[in-house]
Amino acid sequence: MLHDYGPHLRSGDAHRTAKLDDLYVSPGWRRRGVAQLLMEAVEDWGRRPLRYIFWYANAGEAGAAYWAMGYRSDDAGQEGFLFFEIDLGNPLTRIPHPECGS
């Protein structure tokens, strides 16, 4: 689920921000590219009204899945969680990350 959070702290009303609250793939469908397709849909939708999308993921399996898709986190998350942010206006924050290949 993606929630519109309004103006971004860094740029005020110039850029809108949304938080991705949950992305869940049933265990039987994992490692088949479903999460990648869902994230592509999130980004495609977000490009219209948004500049930034951010989310937190647990540092275990979910965090590893986002890293495998090419997203990079920073240490701003809460203990046990990773913080991710996409700047849809900056292609350098887009996937795929050079370390991930494709």
6-49: pLDDT as tens digits: 666 666 656 778 889 889 999 999 999 999 999 999 988 888 77
Q: Specify the pLDDT at position 92.
A: 64
Decide yes or no: CATH 3.40.50.10440 for domain 2-100: no
Mean pLDDT for all residues in the chain: 80
pTM of the model: 0.74
32 CB neighbour count, 10 Å cutoff: 10
Q: Is a pLDDT exceeding 50 seen at residue 98?
A: no
What Cα–Cα distance (Å) separates residue 3 from each residue in 8, 42, 46? 13, 11, 10
Q: Where are the chain's structural domains?
A: 2-100
Q: Specify the pLDDT at position 99.
A: 42
Question: Pick the residue with more confidence: 86 or 97?
Answer: 86
